[in-house]
Amino acid sequence: MAKFSRIAIANRGEVAVRIIKACEELGIETVLLHSEADINTRAYRMATKTICIGPAPTAESYLNIKANVDGALAGGAQAIHPGFGFLSENADFAEAVTKAGLTFIGPSAESIRSLGDKVHCKELAKKAGLPLVPGYQGENQEVAHLILEAEKIGFPVIVKAAAGGGGRGMKLIKSSAEAKELIESAQREAQSAFGSPKVFLEKYLDRAKHIEFQVFGDSTGNVIHFFDRECSVQRRHQKIIEEATSPSLSDDLRRRMGEAACAIATLGKYKGAGTVEFLLQDNEFYLLEVNTRLQVEHPVTEEVLGVDLVKMQILTAQGEFVHDPKQVRVPRGHSIECRIYAENPFMGGVPSTGLLGHVEWPEGPGRRYEYGFDAGDTITPYYDPMIAKVIVWDETRSRAIQKMIRVLQDSVVFGVHTNIPYLIEILSHKEFVMGTMTTRFIETYFSEALKEPELSSLDKKIAEGALLQLRGGGTQNQGANTSPWASYWRGI
């Protein structure tokens, strides 16, 4: 297969920036396929070429298969990288890309249908004898039937989108009384986010840890794994802190789970980067799902193993990457990632949109930042409010935790609220420090909203002085209530 000279990116934000950087390292030009709302973002400025594929609503742009394929062709690309989210796990998109004469940088449409569909994946795993959480994955999607199945499983039950991930279309049902409303809500959200209302049910494990294995199918079809990540710190079923490797696995458990991850990926004839997710409870593990794409949290794996997964994805799509079994990779040290969201932690995490007045990520050894916005960019209400990922590495887990706390304390984001205070509270909690947290960690120990700290008189004087500088001088009474700069202090 010929080498790519130009790759189209069917995504946005920090993942688009990550793909552009990998392409730059390989000497490949990029075409950013963006919506009208994403003009003047970091990825927009970095891409070799940009093509607008539609208005802000995702159904009319990032989820529009034809618009993405037409945009890639118009931009002169030979391949499309889907990133994560949007169409990254859509088999129809992978098929449309291939039919258009382009290369889909990811697994085949057949593999996505086999593993990316959560229901089909569980059927495949069942045949292979892999352990599964008790549940219902049938074709009957009538709400009344789903309620009966949930009652058979026994509450609490989780309802999930068959074609989804990332917590979208996922609801926790605690009793029959709330089942109808939550199932219908999950079906609507699944349709909106993934284009299919199909859902399935699982028994909710209330003391589980969320462990995942990074798998990779090389150019020849061999599947290997790049060890594990722990993602037990979740809020509303969405991960917010991830680490590699998990502090919860013995060597024997890690070996058995890694073998199971490779087994299911091999059954799905997997090529490229994917993730096999498990729930772990009482030293027993259960297959949760397979994500047939790059993960948001892939940097922590890259940090402990010294690999570049995006570069490997591109080389695999070109037919170049073949795993060398003599090259044994062993995790080194510990890495933690925190997702920085534009939200107000003092008001239950409501999204915080607006202009980023100033952004500063403190540099230093073992620190890595992936972000899609610079100062002067606007956080819009149209998409996921994640504005950056902060990743640290250190020799031990405890040092990595302390480094992450320092980095977050020194990071500066003016213009919108962020969840940084919330993240620092989590990292400082004894359960997290001990590594004994479960997926109910946030629910058990944290309220929806943090208590807002009171500013001291010195803090107020410093803020007033800085505000005057930003306003270009004058007295503090001149138009203080009407200045747009005043909103910047929401992010302190």
Consecutive sets of 10 residues in the chain, 492 residues long: mean pLDDT of each? 92 97 98 96 98 96 97 98 94 97 97 85 85 90 95 93 74 94 93 83 93 96 96 91 98 96 94 96 92 96 98 97 91 98 90 93 97 94 93 98 98 95 96 97 85 71 65 43 34 34
* Cα–Cα distance for residue pair 20/37, rounded to 1 Å: 19
pLDDT of res. 467: 60
Angle between helices 309-317 and 298-305 (to 10 degrees): 100
According to the model, what pLDDT value does residue 38 have?
A: 96
How many alpha carbons fall within 13 Å on the CB side of residue 26? 24
pLDDT given at position 463? 67
Buried b (16+ CB within 10 A) or exposed e, 102-138: bbbbbbbbebbbbbbbbbbbbebbeeeebebbebbbe
Sign of CA dihedral 352, 185, 296, 338: positive
For residue 442, the number of C-alpha atoms closer than 13 Å in the C-beta half-sphere is 20
Domain 135-203 has CATH 3.30.1490.20: yes
Task: Note the pLDDT of residue 276.
Answer: 96
**What CATH number does domain 209-446 carry, 1.20.1280.260, 2.40.10.120, 3.30.470.20, 1.10.10.10?**
3.30.470.20
Here the tokens at position 490 are: 């929401």
C-alpha of 199 from chain center: 21
Only one residue has tokens 């999607």, namely 141
For residue 472, what pLDDT is reported?
55
Domain ranges of the chain: 6-105, 135-203, 209-446
Nearest-CA neighbor of 439 among 206, 252, 282?
A: 206
- What is the per-residue pLDDT for 470? 53
Question: What CATH architecture is 6-105?
Answer: 3-Layer(aba) Sandwich (3.40)
Distance from C-alpha of 132 to C-alpha of 240, rounded to nearest angstrom:
25
SS3 content of the chain, % helix, strand, coil (to 5): 35, 25, 40
Cβ neighbours of residue 445 closer than 8 Å, sequence gap 6 or more: 429, 431
Q: How far apart are the first and last CA of the chain?
A: 51
Q: Which of 166, 309, 336, 167 is nearest to 247 (CA)?
A: 336
CB 81 within 8 A of CB 8: yes
Residues with catalytic roles: 293
Whether the model clears a pTM of 0.85, i.e. scores above it, the answer is: yes
